[in-house]
Structure 1
Amino acid sequence: MRILIAYDGSSPANEALDELTRAGLPAKVEAVLVSIAEVWLPPPSSIEMVAGDTAITIDERLKEALTLGNGAAKKLQSNFPDWSIHVEASIGSTAAEVLRKASEWQPDLIVVGSHGHSAIERLLLGSVSLKVLHDAACSVRVSRVNARQTDEPARIIIGFGGLKYSWAAVQTALRRSWPPNTEVRLITSIGPLLLR
């Protein structure tokens, strides 16, 4: 299995790493952890004034992203000693970089953390997890920061509509090695009935 993990050092990104221990993933995985530094360029009219400073900032941010990624990879490796983990750092929009790497590498699963923005924040700032979820060509696992840490069994809900994508979700869940006592529920519904 090939897993692409987006990491930025935030609490949601760390939660996404921690949650992988409950994700039923196989012992043998090829993982790429991509650590992305978002760098915003100044407006074009002032670019020549800060061109040198921007180059230094980009190099520094890239080094920081690589350091963060290496730290996360060590933590991940301690939880999954048989995984092959490679760290990459890049500069750019987080969602765009994750999708670019996914297109290039073709993972089976992308893992991202959710920052839990409000609807207005998502409208103004956008949502990395939502963009990746909508545009990725593979499965995406979005982990939310869990206020209550628990040792309870994992609880999985699969929305089932009878289409090939629903069957694919069920087949994927069946192939996983879930922790003991994991609960899986299949939820389905029928459309509204027209009464005459």
Structure 2
Amino acid sequence: MEKNYQKILVAIDGSDEAEQAFKKAVAIAKKNKSQLFIAHISDSRNLRIFPNLDRPDQDNTFIDQVYNMAETTLNTYKKWAEKQHLSEVKIILRVGSPKIEISTNLPKEYNIDLILLGATGLNAVERLLIGSVSEYVARNAPCDVLIARSDEAETHENNRIANNNF
């Protein structure tokens, strides 16, 4: 029996695989008349290279630019989804552990029943050493998880949504 998904979460990280997952999420949301949540989680571990982030007297212009760029990208994806006739599209931008946010926090907070992610670009050694977000989410999420693989023909640079080519 085919499940009718009502709240779909897709995680965007700028990769071709994430864009494929996004396109599949839009198609599924359209078919099911679902809400679509488009999320980007900036890994807090990466922000450790900026030791003064928690000091208000420090200039955090670079971090603000990164945040603004992520927000702009999410809004571009949202507009694309709305052009596909989706009316309930929400963007989520957070700093934290992508594994925990995507597998646990967001599904609980928004009652997500399907998560879509792009397949990892990591090789076997990298997965062993640092782990794969998609692998972790697939093992720990309380709902169905779909891992999308990129299709070279569809992810050609000229067709990228993130480049506003839609």
TM-score of Structure 1 vs Structure 2, range by shorter chain: 0.7 to 0.9
Distance 2:147 2:82 in 1: 20
Say which of 67, 77, 83 aligns to 1:78. Answer: 83
Say which of 93, 105, 126 aligns to 2:110. Answer: 105
TM-score, length basis structure 1: 0.63
Q: Return closer, same or farther for 1:2/1:109 CA change in 2, 3 Å cut-off.
A: same
Query: Shift of residue 33 of structure 1?
Result: 0.8
CA RMSD of aligned residues (A): 2.7
What number of residue pairs does the alignment pair up? 145
Which runs of structure 2 are paired with 1:1-80 in the superposition (5 Å)? 1-20=6-25, 23=28, 26-39=31-44, 40-42=46-48, 47=51, 51=55, 52-53=58-59, 55-79=60-84
Does the 8 Å CA contact 1:37/1:61 hold for their aligned counterparts?
Answer: no
Which runs of structure 2 are paired with 1:106-125 in the superposition (5 Å)? 106-125=111-130
TM-score, length basis structure 2: 0.73
Q: Which letter does structure 2 place at the counterpart of 1:91?
A: V
Runs of 4 or more, structure 1, over 6 Å off, are none
Q: Percent identity?
A: 28
**Deviations 1:53-86, CA, capped at 9 Å, x for gaps:** 5x4443332222111111111222223x034101
Query: Shift of residue 27 of structure 1?
Result: 4.4
Q: Which letter does structure 2 place at the counterpart of 1:74?
A: K
Q: Which structure is higher in RCO with an 8 Å CA cutoff and minimum separation 6? A: 2
* Structure 2 stretches lacking a partner, 5+ long: 1-5, 155-166
Q: Return closer, same or farther for 1:31/1:22 CA change in 2, 3 Å cut-off.
A: closer
Distance 2:12 2:65 in 1: 17
